[in-house]
Amino acid sequence: MSHAPDQEETENPYATSAVSRPVPFLAPWEVREFSLGKSMLVWSSICAISAAPSFFLAVGLVGVPNIPWMVIGVLLFVGGYVAVDRMTFEWAYRRRVAVKLSLRLTYIIRISASVIFPVALYADMFCGIFSATFITALGYEPERSSNMPGPVVLIWTLLQGAILNAVLAFIWMILLGICWVLTNEPASIEVD
């Protein structure tokens, strides 16, 4: 093995090998600007599209006077997503390629499922039925929900949204594992 005259023969334990590559994410000290307007637009769009199938199914059940309570529920989710987006915006974890890719794929799947007619109805209907069991435990019958008080409709909306988000979290965890394998990105990083 020939070496240049100025190279030493010692092994460097920190030297990269032929298969090493840098982790493709922004360094934790690099500053990015959070845009509240962009975050609100993104999450409002995602929540509005995702809530549409449930909204149209529920309007037939709860009646037109309770529509504002459902809208408030969706707006609470938008606010929650924007708050979490802001809170985690500068975390190095969110800059990981596998994390960004898996989050985007999760919401693409959710929006696609909302747009594809029969899939959206079944997914939202099952989550709605499951959340209705909690409403029944409160003493309200979903079959007679047209005379249900507005705050109960809000609770029902929030429960169904929480169940749908739990399903999305499960899908995200599966996609995150797949993305980590496909991007060949290490699962953890150490920062000095």
Q: What is the DSSP string of the chain?
A: ----TT--S---TTS--TT-----S--TTS-----HHHHHHHHHHHHHHHHHHHHHHHHHHH-GGGHHHHHHHHHHHHHHHHHHHHHHTT-GGGGSHHHHHHHHHHHHHHHHHHHSHHHHHHHHHHHHHHHHHHHHHTT--GGGGGG--HHHHHHHHHHHHHHHHHHHHHHHHHHHHHHHHHHT--S-----
Residue 45 lies in a domain: yes
Residue 188 lies in a domain: no
Mean pLDDT along residues 83-88: 93
Residue 15 lies in a domain: no
pLDDT of 134: 87
Q: Which residue range is the domain that position 151 belongs to?
A: 36-183
Range from 22-31, 144-153, 167-176 carrying the lowest mean pLDDT: 22-31
Rounded CA-CA distance 27/50 in Å is 33
pLDDT of 150: 85
Higher-scoring residue by pLDDT: 128, 106: 106
pLDDT of 58: 80
Residue 22 lies in a domain: no
What is the count of structural domains for the chain? Answer: 1
Residue 179 lies in a domain: yes
pLDDT of 13: 63
Residue 166 lies in a domain: yes
pLDDT of 23: 47
Query: 61 pLDDT exceeds 80?
Result: no
pLDDT of 16: 58
Residue 191 lies in a domain: no
Query: 192 pLDDT exceeds 50?
Result: no
Residue 152 lies in a domain: yes
pLDDT of 40: 97
